[in-house]
Structure 1
């Protein structure tokens, strides 16, 4: 990707999050002036952003959230692009699903995306990249049997509801609305759908997909479902978001996934490199096979790193931050 000759303003929503922090880091390194939305700029969990190279002169944080339309308008003012990364991800079991779905997942994801697009129009933003999820692609009882899932595939809303998969429900509604919005707007909207995102964290607080990887090394469960995980490195996701933004040929939606690996193979790979952690003891076979195609994204020039590099960098990061302690 080419370095920007002039300073262009881009806003990243949810700037302190796992993926968004890497997006901010890469934007700053390429010479962009970056606006970032966070709930509280003074919160310690956002302090890592201020330590990024060039942050002092080129990063401005705005106190707002996805349901604060006026706050979003202020953050987007003067920006030619918006990278909408913010979205709540549940960690652990949901104690009150009915309440949680509406207030904590669906409203921020769906109403939040509507607010972002409306604020973009008001600020005369030229291009928006909406970060969706492979969860908006693959949650359906009618997966193709003879080919990988591609951008034509969508999660089934009724199936998401029936299986109480509210995160994927919210992501599917929000992404489909965003792409539908392009038909009635001059906004150039592209969506990126990452699978399970692993790799090193810039932020100090744990997120859902990092907890998943940690669980393989810490929990030592008696039996774990041997499901297939489509995975991608967080840095490669951040690069894909910048690619979708900068490349004028980018159109529609893009699946962002690099590798597929079963739970047992993942645990054994980790155990071969790091034998002194507490791995699952047995596995229950699971027939829910998910294969995703990132051919469309690769045709834009996207490349991804080896899985081993992702795992090594992630584990080193967890150890340095005290999330992993050898037995």
Structure 2
């Protein structure tokens, strides 16, 4: 029997990998994009193995009520990945928060109408997990942690606020309508790009590699391979017992160690030698429990390999010249 699923925001970095792995596993995929006629954004999807037989593009916009209904109707699962990801904006409400929250409402309302949906898998983020003043340095962060919207607003962490508000709205709607919802909360996602445009997390690596960053940040953060994140989404649907939230991060690593790993692989790259904040002690590599997602059967790719894959892909896509 044909297994039909929907992936929203399908031309994005994570979503393209979700589509690829779904096609490999025999699914028929309905992929929502803002403009199916935009070949620049969709050609890489239609070039995937089995895409001609089992991938169909649908036009949908996060802010347009009802625009996901056609793509979702008749599907057994929806992977909702569509959400803006960038950090700099003059209008966070319009550019980040509204599309994230309204988009989640529109997609989940389409799922309620469809009646055929067995489970919704939402791409959230560790941005919706770790930003809370109650988190102490010695805490081991797990899925029970939730970012505090008031704290995010006070600190002007607009992307973090958008992901937190969107996930809270998703849980509220799922409870109200009896939807089976699972969220994947990845950290900084890197690895090979399938899409032809540069995404925010890959850009962070590119800036270290191409000499445009004279220093690296005094910051420790989570990192994870894009293929692992895509696989986690599919496991969250296929494993019947899956429930709740799943932090998806291979490890928490300070930027200095990231730069050192990159230098080992690419010794001639103009990588930064100094920290942007030499006067302060290094930001601590806080602890995160990564076990829950492993219970679904996920095996993490070492972040050292993810970095190498990311850079080699940037070179192949002609975004980086060494």
2:244 alignment partner in structure 1: 252
Q: Deviations over 1:1-60 (max 9, x none)?
A: xxxxx3211000000000000000000111111000001112112210000001001000
Q: 2:257 aligned with 1:261, yes or no?
A: no
1:293 alignment partner in structure 2: 289
Match of 1:204 among 196, 200, 207: 196
Shift of 1:223: 3.1
Q: 2:104 aligned with 1:104, yes or no?
A: no
Question: Size of the alignment, in residue pairs?
Answer: 316
The residue correspondences of 1:1-327 to structure 2 (distance < 5 A) are: 6-43=1-38, 44-90=40-86, 93-94=88-89, 96=90, 100-124=91-115, 125-219=117-211, 221-283=213-275, 284=277, 285-287=281-283, 289-326=285-322
Q: Deviations over 1:259-315 (max 9, x none)?
A: 221111110111121012111131124435443222111122221111222122111
TM-score (norm 1): 0.93
What runs of 5+ residues in structure 1 fail to find an aligned partner?
1-5
TM-score (norm 2): 0.94
CA distance in 1, matches of 2:243, 2:143: 11
Please provide the CA RMSD for this pair. 1.4
SS class of match (1:34): strand
Q: Deviations over 1:82-137 (max 9, x none)?
A: 0000000116x32x2xxx21111111101110111111010112210011000000
CA distance in 2, matches of 1:223, 1:28: 41
Contact 1:230-1:291 within 8 A present in 2 as well: no
Please say which of residues 24-33 and 280-289 is displaced more in the overlay. Answer: 280-289
